[in-house]
Amino acid sequence: GAAELGPYRHYMQKEIFEQPRAIGDTLEGVAGIVPELFDGIGQDGATGASAHRVFKDIDKILILACGTSYYSGCTAKYWLESIAKISTQVEIASEYRYRDSVPDPKTLVVTISQSGETADTLAALKHARSLGMEQTLTICNVATSAMVRECKLAYITRAGVEIGVASTKAFTTQLAGLFLLTLAIAQTKGRLSEADEARYLKEMRHLPVALQSVLALEPQIIGWAEDFARKDNALFLGRGLHYPIALEGALKLKEVTYIHAEAYAAGELKHGPLALVTSEMPVVAVAPNDTLLEKLKSNLQEVRARGGVLYVLADGDTKIKGSEGLHVIRMPEHYGALSPLLHVVPLQLLAYHTACARGTDVDKPRNLAKSVTVE
Ligand code: G6P
């Protein structure tokens, strides 16, 4: 009801603004990087499984999820391979459960789910277990869910109840959990120096404050949303860690505004989607650090030559300036490895405010459900 919404118009907006609190709660009590953070919850009074033992044994990760949770998994792949140096595969749960794959018992199967009740993700987990992969861990927002019961190890995110169908705070808390998982595996395997551990912990503790200053960009995003509300298509570009964030930005826009949106790895622009660029196709570029920007500049000319308009979320330390057909919102800081958590926030706000401008049912988009518990 209205009382719960406080100053916000919709749950989606409230949940976007709750992210500093949600991340703070999710990371509360994390004094150091220890595998025990992921220990089994010990259903029915049993002692939970030991994450330390599991992390020592595994040499591969298989992430299974759907929707927004799948994109948090795609982001984590970059962390797991670059920081923990562990080979990681991310699969859409509904694809994995029905295809022939090559199982490896030394795999840690990681499911990611806000609800813990998504039918495809639960079925994919069962499928992996039936193939002999018994080391299972879930990153989940509901401690009492089927997913938590079915997995050996668990990390419960503390987003709190998420009501908006389009997931926002659940996504960023999943990322926080997955970053911790990366560090815990790296540490168990002796791949995390004390200096790096201390630096990452410091960066994580800074997240609530950093998120707060990104949320303060809302008025600038509303300016962008006014343009987007009049379009039928949009393209999102990202690179590396921010490619999944571009995918999530496009998904958010589709879900709540019904604008057709696609995301591409920035380097793929010239291999097809450039053909779509006209003055009616806004192009959002996510987190271009200077190296990406250099590459984007030539694309930029091509986009401009076709009348296309660019909306760039630039890192705090980039030198790009706005001009005709080039809109820039500068992020307050440069965030390093945690950058995806910060860059997704303006995209959530863009989808939200574009939806408001178009008058859609933001919290309950047509044809979608909060949790898909049937196939
Ligand atoms: C539905 C929701 C999405 C969510 C997906 C996976 O499609 O609308 O927001 O990302 O399910 O849900 P889960 O609860 O498993 O994260």
Q: What is the DSSP string of 247-282?
A: HHHHHHHHHHH--EEEEEEGGGGGGTGGGG-STT--
CB under 8 Å to 268, separation ≥6 — which residues? Answer: none
CB half-sphere exposure, 211, CA atoms < 13 A: 28
Q: At residue 56, does pLDDT exceed 60?
A: yes
Residue 322: per-residue pLDDT: 87
For all residues of the chain together, what is the average pLDDT? 93
Q: 69 CB less than 6 Å from ligand 1? A: yes
Residue 320: per-residue pLDDT: 79
Main-chain dihedrals φ then ψ at residue 290, nearest 5 degrees: -60, -35
Beta strands in the chain, from DSSP E residues, in sequence order: 60-65, 87-92, 107-113, 136-140, 153-156, 233-238, 260-265, 283-286, 310-314, 326-330
Residue 2: per-residue pLDDT: 59
pLDDT digits (tens, 9 = 90+) for 107-140: 999 999 999 999 999 999 999 999 999 999 999 9
Q: At residue 271, does pLDDT exceed 60?
A: yes
Q: If we measure between CA atoms, which residue out of 30, 36, 29, 23 comes closest to residue 197?
A: 30
Residue 78: per-residue pLDDT: 97
Ligand 1 atom nearest to CA at 255: 8
Residue whose token pair is 């949600």: 22
Residue 1: per-residue pLDDT: 58
Residue 295: per-residue pLDDT: 74
Find the helix packing angle between 339-358 and 243-257, rounded to 10°.
20
Which residues are designated catalytic?
A: 370
Q: At residue 9, does pLDDT exceed 80?
A: yes
Residue 92 banded pLDDT, cuts 50, 70, 90: very high
Residue 15: per-residue pLDDT: 98
What share of the chain has pLDDT > 90, as a percent?
79
Please tell me the distance between residue 274's alpha carbon and the centre of ligand 1 in angstroms.
31
300-318: average pLDDT: 84
Residue 46 banded pLDDT, cuts 50, 70, 90: low
Q: Which amino acid is at 11?
A: Y
Residue 156 banded pLDDT, cuts 50, 70, 90: very high
Residue 195 banded pLDDT, cuts 50, 70, 90: very high
Q: Which residue has the higher pLDDT, 298 or 190?
A: 190
Q: 72 CB less than 6 Å from ligand 1? A: no
Q: At residue 42, does pLDDT exceed 90?
A: no
Q: Which residue has the higher pLDDT, 211 or 43?
A: 211
SS3 content of the chain, % helix, strand, coil (to 5): 50, 15, 35
Q: What is the ipTM for the molecules in this complex? A: 0.97
Residue 290 banded pLDDT, cuts 50, 70, 90: low
Residue 199 banded pLDDT, cuts 50, 70, 90: very high
Q: At residue 348, does pLDDT exceed 70?
A: yes
CB 206 within 8 A of CB 334: no
pLDDT digits (tens, 9 = 90+) for 66-80: 999 999 999 999 999
Ligand 1, atom 7, lies closest to the CA of: 67
Ligand 1 binding pocket mutation candidate from 71, 72, 370, 373 (most atoms within 8 A of CB): 370
Per-residue exposure over 46-77, b if at least 16 CB sit within 10 Å of its own CB, e if not: eeebbbbebbeebebbbbbbbbbbbbbbbbbb
Q: 119 CB less than 6 Å from ligand 1? A: no
Q: 174 CB less than 6 Å from ligand 1? A: no
pLDDT digits (tens, 9 = 90+) for 310-339: 999 988 777 778 888 889 999 998 889 999
Residue 162 banded pLDDT, cuts 50, 70, 90: very high
Q: In whole angstroms, give the CA distance from residue 291 to residue 289.
A: 6
Please tell me the distance between residue 163's alpha carbon and the centre of ligand 1 in angstroms.
12
